[in-house]
Amino acid sequence: MKSCESLFLTALESFHQGKQQEPVLSAAASGLGFDLLLDSEISSRLPIEEQLRARFAAGIRSRGLLAARSGRLIEAQQALKETKRIRQSNGLSAEAKLMIETFDEAVGAYVEYRQSDYSQARSRVYRAMAIDGELITNYGYDILDLHRVQLGHNLMRIDAHCGNMVEAAEMCASLLAYLEGDVEHWPLAEFLIQTNPSRLPPELLKAMFIQIVGELALMLGGRKGDEACRMFAAILPHVENRATANCRQFLRVHRWLEAKWAYINGEVIPFLEHIIELLRDGPGEMLLLWRVAAVDLRSLCYEVGSNRGARALREIDHECQAWSHVPPQLRRRLSFAEAV
């Protein structure tokens, strides 16, 4: 077995090798893959006039979402008022109305979330899920199953924001199992429908899997010990490869989960062993998870406090300062340690 010192050194070298590699923003991760598939299904089902109205509404909605993300909530509400007017206009089929409404409800939920009305946010997510169910069951829009998972991710975020970390982690575990093809794990019994995510393109499932584990990573932050163990308990079957029959389908993400579990338990050597390969392979399609692994290593360096640890700390620190688009939760971890 390698010594802790030598593993530190190897992990640091892996970090240096991995950071040279550009992250990959796949069409699936950008949402483009989903949009194209949905568009393809819509084009074969709705008349062109309805497709145009739906696209017109989508443009307004996406500008509304951008406004909401910047905190301009009245503008966002105005956008949703406009899309509501479109879907209530004469001549639209029930199918087209539902198609516009499900995405409106999802954005509406986000606006409520930004206004700290979490109960209303939840209701609107549920409403969107119900509409998705109808569109899948009655009209054959299988691709919307992925939208349902996205909505589940939104519920997870709401739970986390309300401090319900264990519930959020349970939601996370169920969604991951569902994405691995285990339909029984769908977390919301009232929105259970006859569908199978394995029919969806694997690259989209993988992108969603990475996105959800990314949310878990932000929830966990730098937590360790009992609190983190409680939060992580629901995820353990994934770490132990017993959650579903396809548990190691997304191998790299599983490696990250294993590393995180070791980190939470303060098992330095297993943690280092897990992240060496992860860091060396570069961010790839999981930029956020790669960065969190690097920040975990950085935290460990700080705790260890050896000369070697201090050097690694300085080198990772230098790199982290150049990162752009860092979520505030991760940025806080970086600035906290700086202050220390």
Smallest separation, CB 39 to other proteins (Å): 8
Q: Which is nearer to other proteins, 64 or 309 (CB)?
A: 64
Smallest separation, CB 40 to other proteins (Å): 11
Touching other proteins, residues 156-175 (CB under 8 A): none
Q: Could you identify the residue written with the tokens 């390698």?
A: 2
Q: Does 43 bind other proteins (CB under 8 A)?
A: yes
Residues 6+ apart with CB under 8 A from 283: 18, 21, 22, 23, 24, 290, 291
Touching other proteins, residues 102-121 (CB under 8 A): none
Smallest separation, CB 109 to other proteins (Å): 19
Closest CA to 121 of 101, 84, 98, 151: 151
Q: Does 31 bind other proteins (CB under 8 A)?
A: no
Q: Which is nearer to other proteins, 78 or 123 (CB)?
A: 78
Touching other proteins, residues 54-93 (CB under 8 A): 55-56, 58-60, 63, 67, 71-75, 77-78, 81-82, 86, 89-90
Smallest separation, CB 55 to other proteins (Å): 4
- 253 touches 210 (CB < 8 A): yes
Smallest separation, CB 100 to other proteins (Å): 12
Per-residue binder mask for other proteins (CB under 8 A), 279-318, x = binder: ----------------------------------------
Smallest separation, CB 79 to other proteins (Å): 8
Kindly tell me which residue out of 9, 16, 27, 51 binds other proteins, with binding defined by CB under 8 A. Answer: 51
The site for other proteins, by CB under 8 A, has a size of 26
**Single-letter amino acid, residue 164:** N
Burial category of 225 from C-beta neighbours within 10 Å (exposed 0-12, middle 13-18, buried 19 and up): exposed
Kindly tell me which residue out of 13, 22, 35, 49 binds other proteins, with binding defined by CB under 8 A. Answer: 49
Closest CA to 179 of 206, 152, 139, 156: 206
What does the binding site for other proteins look like in residue numbers (CB under 8 A)? 39, 43, 48-49, 51-53, 55-56, 58-60, 63, 67, 71-75, 77-78, 81-82, 86, 89-90
